[in-house]
Amino acid sequence: MSGLSEPRLSVNGNKLPSARKISTTVISHSDVPEPGYTALNSHFGQFLDHDIGHTPTERGFCGCTKSSVCIPIEIPEDDEFFEVPCFPFLRSLPSLDENCKGPRQQLNQITSFIDGSAIYGSTDDVVNSLRNKDDGLGLLLTETNPTGVFSLPHLPKDVQESDCATIRHGHHCGRSGDVRSSEQTGLTILHTIFHRNHNLIALQLFQMNPFWDDTRLFNEARRINTAIFQHITYNEYLPLLIGPRMVRALDIKSNSAGFFYGYDYKVNPGVSNVVSTSAFRFGHSQVSSDMTRVNPQFQEVFDPLLLAEAFFNGSIMFDGTNGGVDSIALGMVTQQLQKVDLNIDIVLTQHLFNFPPFSPALDLIAFNIQRGRDHGIPSYVEWRTFCGLSDASSMDDLRSEISEENISRLKKAYSDVRDIDLFVGSIAEEPLADALVGPTNACILGRQFHDLKAGDRFWYETGNQKTSFTKDQLAMIRTMTMSRLMCDNLEFIESIQPFAFRSADERVSPGDETSFYRYNQMNDFPDLNRDMPGFSNVRVSCRDFTVIPHLDLCPRSKQGSPFCSK
């Protein structure tokens, strides 16, 4: 390989330390929850990540010898867990840059826009393979729930997913717009919820407009469902992730009324290499060792689902004995989120995608580090200075953002501060006072989500386009929350907290707002102490539409909605 194709090297020109050695040196496995935040943040983040980026890899055999397609991860002889000499590592598929010259580049094989491609796919072939055109109702295909004909359906069977661990027992994994939908059960749950929501919208549209054909019903339902996804991302998920100060600085929070006129054709809406390869992988630190399962009263009457048993396991969705889909979905809004830090669950560093469970498998953190080097992602120090933080010529220069304990770990792993891999350095930072991530990731991710919105001509709030929603339609979409999405698309749910990404409160403080929709219309949140003053997130009935509004496609006002029959 020429120098233009080499992985990133040390500043002294030598190879960087083994990615597995870095992982075992800096990573620990303590349980460090993030009080006040639910595990839904982790699962939604993965769903969102899979909507905007998927890098293809080379094909071929990869062993422990470096080649044009393979840069194996060396496993030190003194490794305390793995006894093999390496992890085989296929490089990402190469591409020329936009000028057909320069260093090795990589591809994104899905659409980068937040366009619901995780639900519908990024190509016509995938979309058409998911559609149910027989009924003429604009629906997506589904698999009948075995518990009864009136039960909510599941994703259609994925008969091509060879990694599904339960095929031999008759349980296929579910098929959706993204091929990774069965990576872990929490992700599959979100695919199922958005899949069901499309069909719910399509049926409502058909009832109001029985003269519409299948294609129009499908496309209108898809447009609304995608807009809801965009709205939840920017109105609920991002303010917690990067903090209200970053959201305000980049002007990326959704409007409370009216249209968005910030579309800029000069903005590149593509997902940057650094986001897909490093920055958005912070979520691996938020993963718990298990998934809480609860009944509709939020009681933990079921055993938790172990993460090691959740990889490509199609049977769990049909496990009515343990509450099925609902118990895991409600567990997401009950279980505490893990803090973004150097504590990673041991399943991810030793048993990734294992079968049988807890057998030696892969180290996700080592793979993250190696993938960043494969893509030539600049070091952590370069990115922190890009984001306006101070330059660092020694490890001690990192004290403003990284704790003494973490600096000590970094010193053991790297001989030079300029060698620190971005993935490692960014999750070693202390989170910002008002965010879940540190300043470097908040900067990188904030810029990316600005560009994804400003560079999207079909952004749901954009006005003056042939495809634009009307003000009435936008007003309806803005009432939607993740909590309402769960209320409408889970089977046995009775109640939920109005802001699903934050933990439920036990009681209402006098004078507090209890509707997240109304609170969101008036406030930037959380505040600099991560609090939401004046809001009580107590669980309420899913039938309380004043607190958790529902999507009314045909309001009773004379102005009405253009979705209604005329």
Which residues are annotated as part of the binding site for heme b?
Answer: 284
Give SS3 for 410.
Answer: helix
Residue 410: Cβ within 10 Å count:
23
Closest of 208, 272, 203, 251 to residue 422, by C-alpha: 272
Closest of 495, 507, 399, 381 to residue 440, by C-alpha: 381
Nearest 5°: the CA angle 319, 42, 333 is: 60
Are 354 and 309 spatial neighbours (Cβ–Cβ below 8 Å)?
no
**The two three-digit tokens of residue 101, written as one number:** 């010259």
Q: What is the CA radius of gyration of the chain?
A: 23
Q: Give the separation between CA 539 and CA 418, rounded to whole angstroms.
A: 48
Residues in binding site:
284
Residue 125: Cβ within 10 Å count:
9
Cβ neighbourhood burial of 68 (10 Å; 0-12, 13-18, 19+): exposed
In the set 43, 50, 191, 450, the catalytic residue is: 50
> What is the identity of the amino acid at 194?
F
Are 243 and 442 spatial neighbours (Cβ–Cβ below 8 Å)?
yes
| H or E segment and range at residue 479 | none
**The two three-digit tokens of residue 374, written as one number:** 């494969």
| H or E segment and range at residue 566 | none
Q: Give the separation between CA 335 and CA 298, rounded to whole angstroms.
A: 10
Peptide bond into 210 cis (omega under 30): no
**The two three-digit tokens of residue 118, written as one number:** 């995780």
Q: DSSP string covering 167-178, please?
A: GGGT-PPB--SS
Peptide bond into 356 cis (omega under 30): yes
Compute the Cα dihedral for 47, 51, 57, 60 and give only its sign: positive
Q: Residue 132 forms beta bridges with which residues?
A: 139
Q: State yes or no: is 50 an active-site residue.
A: yes
Q: Give the separation between CA 258 and CA 278, rounded to whole angstroms.
A: 35
Q: Which residues are catalytic?
A: 50
